[in-house]
Amino acid sequence: MTTVAEIFETMEWGPAPESDKPVLEWIARSSGEFGHYIGGQWTEPKEKLLFDVMNPATTKRLARVSQGTSDDVDAAVAAARDALPAWQALTPHQRARHLYALARSVQRNARLLAVLESLDNGKSIRETRDIDIPLVARHFYHHAGWAQLLETEFAGYEAAGVVGQIIPWNFPLLMLSWKVAPALAAGCTVVLKPAEFTPMTALLFAELAHDAGLPPGVLNIVTGDGDTGKALVAHPDVNKIAFTGSTEVGKAIRRAVAGTGKKLSLELGGKSPFIVFDDADLDSVVEGVVDAIWFNQGQVCCAGSRLLVQEGISERLLTKLKARMEKLRVGSPLDKAVDMG
């Protein structure tokens, strides 16, 4: 007689797809082509300055976005500079209201953002829906709270001014929230360049911010490749650069801003080791290791990419790890039953 345990062990996972129809309709409203968001307005896409954004799961084109030029960066920085006095003239509580509005808008549009992030980045819908997008909303709520404490907790401090922000492709919208929310709370205005591979949720966020009533010029989005980022880093009217990405590019940015007086924050790559001793619970270790290295397809700057194991348990641990790895489910990022997109 077949036992319940045997039935569970032999069951196959059926597909549980999330619909991409709302996202494709949103893209189609712009005819699949997007300009920059500068000074509260969308620039007109220019045919010769468009590049393809691909769905990594299918290698099909998702949309076409604009390649930012130095003129585009100039316009975005000028818009941010023009908006700065009025933004800083608001009381911290007034700025907090804008951040609360952004957080609520993210929550209202969570499904649209989650599906778009999965299509653009390739990560599983379970991660975008259950981790990334809820965290985006929480960051704006969190910094709305801090905005109201500025006068007491940060007495005597002043906002940096116009902040240029460059974010990576592994957590596109989450990294946007990490950088945009505290900058706006502090009274800064922002020019943000998303990664050229994953700009779509930043563009949708700009639309949501516009609809939520964020004043023109407070947030500006310029899409493009490394040359666009270089123009932003080198711009003389930017007061601070915030960059998340590779160590190599971070070093280049550090050299570029040296002596300019710009403030700088860098979040770069690293090698995070697991150290396992012979008294460890190996089953728990296996789950921790697999989650640490394959969460977000392993595209995490602090992924557990090294494993240091006490010699006496190395064979047992590796055997368990291999068995667990064989059961990872890889498939369409919109399938809610997969482990990796």
As given in the structure block, the two tokens for residue 76 are 């975005």
**Identified catalytic residue from 12, 301, 315, 326:** 301
Instruction: Provide the phi-psi class of 122: left if phi over 0, else alpha when psi is between -120 and 50, else beta.
Output: left
Exposure b/e, 137-165, CB count within 10 A at least 16 = b: bebbbbbbebbbebeeeeeeeebbbbbbb
* Known catalytic membership, residue 301: yes
Residues with Cβ within 8 Å of residue 15, at least 6 apart in sequence:
331, 332, 335, 337
Q: Are 66 and 34 in contact (CB under 8 A)?
A: yes
Give first-to-last CA distance, the chain, whole Å.
37
Instruction: Give the SS3 label for residue 220.
Output: strand
DSSP letter for each residue of 2-19? --HHHHHHHPPPPP-BPP
Set 196, 267, 311, 326: catalytic member: 267
Strands 50-55 and 240-244: unpaired
78, 67 in Cβ contact below 8 A?
no
Whole-angstrom Cα distance, residue 333 to residue 174? Answer: 18
To the query of whether residue 267 is one of the catalytic residues in this protein, the response is yes
List the structure tokens of 64.
């076409």
Q: Comparing C-alpha atoms, which of 134, 144, 149 is closest to residue 180?
A: 144
Residue type, 39: G
273-276/306-309 β-pairing? parallel
| Strand, helix or coil for residue 166 | strand
Active-site residue numbers? 267, 301
